[in-house]
Amino acid sequence: MCLAIPMRIVEIEGVIGVADVDGVTRKVRLDLLPEVYLGDYVLVHAGLAIARVDAGEAEETLSLLRKLADEVY
Amino acid sequence: MKFIDEFRDKGLVRDLVRRLGHLATGPATIMEVCGTHTMAAARFGLKSLLPSQVNLVSGPGCPVCVTAQEDLDGFLALGKEPGVILASFGDMLRVPGTATSLEKERAAGAMVKVVYSPLDAVDLARQATGKQVVFFGVGFETTMPATAMAVQLAAAEKLPNFSVFCVHKTMPGALRALLAAGEVRVSGLLCPGHVTTIIGASAYDFIPRDFRIPCAVTGFEPLDLLLGIESILHQISQGQARVDNVYPRAVQVQANPRAQALLTEVFAAGDAKWRGLGVIPGSGVAIREKYQQFDARTRYAAALAQVPPPPPSACRCGEVLRGVMRPRECPLFDQACSPAHPLGPCMVSSEGACAAVYRYERG
């Protein structure tokens, strides 16, 4: 039930936004996230954006994964 | 899809799995606390990829599964009240109550609406003037802000026909109770990534401190799950126990302050009854008195007082939820109990441990 999917913000009007994933859009409330801008990715759960997806952190995690994979003994 | 496909890279999955094989030097039982983890691990076939020493066990993090029978019976009883529309997440529909289920009631003519969000239930109330919409507030911290917002919106509009039957539960108290009981021995915990976007990774600091159990706050794609398991095996191999956040693209150490403010405004901490765990002090919430006209437990107190307590059941979901029984060990599994004829919620919810084993690991 705690499923939340990363969606891209394509419209913002106050605390209401429109988020898109693969061409499917839906209205999302942005109240929980003070700093969200057009083009950002957010995790959407039950109509609410619950977290901003940090692209820099995602890249760092992928770098870590590649490093760990390279270290396979 | 961005932030999904990268975390499903097959080559990296293969290399990580091989790394885990080297890291796992002894038996390790790792609990995936969250039902969404249970489903993801089963769906991606991760259990079959893991080294044989590593056992994944499901925990109490499927909200549908831990909803107490009397709470479900109470919500079902409200469907008999005149003019009431029951609004629920779809996951709850087939869960058997003592005498019936939401699905059966709907087939028999009761007004049962499936909603994607509590905010949709507020919309429904706006449209259904003359009816009463009661939303079944099920879920952990991930879902609670949406319910709190629905209550706030209804209050701001003075909607006379919206209320919440609140059975929301909070994770840290349940984990403390589970670990303190000592019944289940776990070597590490995969902590629920999306709950943690709301409560912050520091909410689990007591687990390594008080129980010396390594934790990893983990995302939901295959590489996220493998990285969480890697963190735990690594901590074990180093003799360490701490809370690692391996889902930093979404999770921070501290709680989301706006979400916390919203939750504190609408809810007060209280006790909650969990299926399988009993009453856990401080693991639930009640709607504050200030918003009591939106609290279905207050609004329908007289009707709810008439609901009889449920009789004992042969269902062993409680033991499965505590991680002390595996789904296949239940004598009902794939016999009297199957997804087509579920006896308990663990077989109903797509995130239930029994449903996951039935669907992905049977035969």
**Model confidence over B154-183: pLDDT tens digits?**
999 999 999 999 999 999 989 999 999 888
- Please check whether residue B217 is in contact with residue B204, taking contact to mean a CB–CB distance below 8 angstroms: yes
Confidence of residue B105 (pLDDT cuts 50, 70, 90): very high
Phi-psi region of B274 (alpha: psi -120 to 50; beta: other; left: phi over 0): beta
Dist. CA A1–CA B39, nearest whole Å: 10
Of B293, B360, B300, B281, the closest CA to residue B328 belongs to B360
Give the Cβ contact number of residue B8 at 10 Å.
Answer: 14
Does A57 contact chain B (CB < 8 Å)?
Answer: yes
Of the residues B171, B199, B249, the best mutation for testing chain A's interface (the one with the most A CB atoms within 10 Å of its CB) is B249
Take residue B43 and report the two structure tokens written for it.
């769906």
pTM score, two decimals?
Answer: 0.95
Across the interface, which of B12, B116, B259 has its CB nearest the CB of A46? B116
Q: Is B3's CB within 8 Å of A66's CB?
A: no
Both tokens assigned to A8: 């891209």
- What is the predicted pLDDT for the residue at A73? 57
Between vectors from CA B194 to CA B286 and to CA B62, what angle results, nearest 5°? 65
A41 touches chain B (CB under 8 A): yes
Contact across the interface for B116 and A47, Cβ inside 8 Å: yes
pLDDT digits (tens, 9 = 90+) for A5-64: 999 999 999 999 999 999 999 999 999 999 999 999 999 999 999 999 999 999 999 999
- Cα–Cα distance between A48 and B21 in angstroms, integer? 39
Question: Of B16-25, B91-100, B198-207, B317-326, which range is least confident?
Answer: B317-326
A1/B139 touch (CB, cutoff 8 Å), yes or no: yes
Contact A51 B251 (CB under 8 A): yes
Mean pLDDT of chain B: 95
Q: Give the chain A residue nearest B199 (alpha carbons).
A: A50
Cα B56 from Cα B272, distance rounded (Å): 27
Q: Facing residues of A5 across strands?
A: A44
